[in-house]
A and B are shown apart, each in its own frame.
Chain A
Amino acid sequence: KAGVTQTPRYLIKTRGQQVTLSCSPISGHRSVSWYQQTPGQGLQFLFEYFSETQRNKGNFPGRFSGRQFSNSRSEMNVSTLELGDSALYLCASSRLAANTGELFFGEGSRLTVL
């Protein structure tokens, strides 16, 4: 069974640009969540999608957005990149069943903003 796949794994952008990251969840998983990890702030929740709808959102500016497609694949976009957006962006999927709140994480996309 394939795990959560994130692309690209590494990318470099410059300030002011925008970036789109992609996440393919485990087959059959309908919930996809995104996290940002930085040395200073640790792992922080960005947002969660289920059935193409955003259900939860963390405390991030509107430059951070996402969407989910009908096949449960998800993308997140960061516009007008800032140096502080350099981070590891992690995607996680879940089966979404009661008392099985295990999240399966991908390897992440490491973004460097110059």
Chain B
Amino acid sequence: DAKTTQPPSMDCAEGRAANLPCNHSTISGNEYVYWYRQIHSQGPQYIIHGLKNNETNEMASLIITEDRKSSTLILPHATLRDTAVYYCIVRVEDAGGTSYGKLTFGQGTILTVHP
């Protein structure tokens, strides 16, 4: 799986958009970008994933650059409850399903949302 690079920490004001960048310059054509977050003392929580098109769900938006070498997770209106460690993960998604359960976590970005 491709290696990802994220800033170690970021701050955001409550109610503002939080834009979390991720660099994955060695990503392959069949690798997806996943985002998970982990709130203190809880298990990681899936946020969103995508291949090359921008994606949006009820939690966030994922913007992937055209060359797919970087992406940005956007939390449109951050709240205090969004304070967490955010992990950007790149992994192959194969129809054979030989590695669904394996995620390679980096150090992530500690997002602090302040009032």
Contact = CB atoms under 8 A, between A and B. Distances in A.
Contact of B42 (A35, A44, A48, A107): A107
Contact of A55 (B42, B101, B103): B101
Interface stretch (A14-22, A75-83, A96-104): A96-104
Interface in B75-100: 87, 91, 93, 95, 97-100
Interface string A30-63: 0111010000001111001110000110100000
Interface residues of B, number: 26
A107 B97 contact: no
Given A42-B107, A101-B32, A32 B101 contact: yes
Interface in A99-114: 99, 101-108
Give the size category of A's interface with B. 20 to 34
B43 A31 contact: no
Interface of A: 4, 31-33, 35, 42-45, 48-50, 55-56, 58, 90, 92, 94, 96, 98-99, 101-108
Given A43-B38, A56-B98, 17 more contacts: A31-B100, A42-B108, A43-B87, A43-B105, A48-B100, A48-B102, A50-B101, A55-B101, A56-B99, A90-B43, A92-B43, A96-B100, A98-B95, A101-B93, A103-B44, A103-B100, A106-B43
